[in-house]
Amino acid sequence: MAISEMPQPSADYRRLLREVTGARAGLLVVKGAFPKDRSMVAEEVAAVRGSRVRAIAAPSVAGKYIGETEKNLARLFEAAAGSGSVLFFDEADDLFGKRTQREKRQDTYAGTCLLELLNRHPVFCILGADLNFQLPAELQHPLLGVVAVERREASVNPPRSTI
């Protein structure tokens, strides 16, 4: 997509960029049909934060063996915390769709591991996914917002608060 084809950012999107700039750590979801559009938003968020993006294809993080996914995520978070880069997991819907197990042999999802790592490391994380992606309930707390990117329009939906 050429720069001239980029949608004009809405006031909500500009507000979200300001919030993201001040956040030490957190989670942002970027939904879109096209991976290139999602990565452009991730690049813009990183630029606003004065960081660089470390793009990761989420399926490459998912391990074949017990505990491998958690170890892969932990390595990525430790590296990002040391460098100050923004982690961008594209195709996050694939990562959250796979079950993993912990050493305690309790079934869990990668979302729980991601939440623990977000609490432990000062890392800003962006999840890129298709438009129909539903964020796991355990990740609602660190969520700063959801950006829906379409070819001609971009809109921001703040996270729903549960009372």
Would you kindly state where each structural domain of the chain is located, as residue ranges?
25-134
Out of 4-18, 25-39, 147-161, which region has the weakest mean confidence (pLDDT)?
A: 147-161
Better-scored residue on pLDDT, 67 or 160: 67
State the average pLDDT for the chain: 78
pLDDT value at 12 more than 80? no
Answer whether 32's CB lies under 8 Å from 150's CB.
Answer: yes
Instruction: Give the pLDDT band of residue 2 (cuts 50, 70, 90).
Output: very low
* Architecture of the structural domain at 25-134: 3-Layer(aba) Sandwich (3.40)
pLDDT value at 28 more than 50? yes
pLDDT at 123: 93
Q: Which two tokens stand for residue 151?
A: 């070819």
Better-scored residue on pLDDT, 139 or 42: 42
Question: Any bridge partners for residue 31, and if so which?
Answer: 129, 148
pLDDT value at 48 more than 80? yes
CA distance 62 to 50: 29
Highest mean predicted confidence (pLDDT) among 20-29, 55-64, 79-88, 111-120: 79-88
CA distances from 131 to 116, 119, 135 (A): 25, 27, 11
CA 147 to chain centre: 11
pLDDT value at 88 more than 90? yes
Better-scored residue on pLDDT, 11 or 50: 50
Q: Which two tokens stand for residue 126?
A: 């962006």
pLDDT at 52: 94
CA distance 129 to 125: 13
CA distance 142 to 125: 10
Check the CA dihedral 33-36-39-41 and report its sign.
negative
The 3-state DSSP class for residue 163 equals coil
pLDDT at 128: 93
pTM (predicted TM-score): 0.78
Length reported for the chain: 163
CA distance 100 to 90: 19
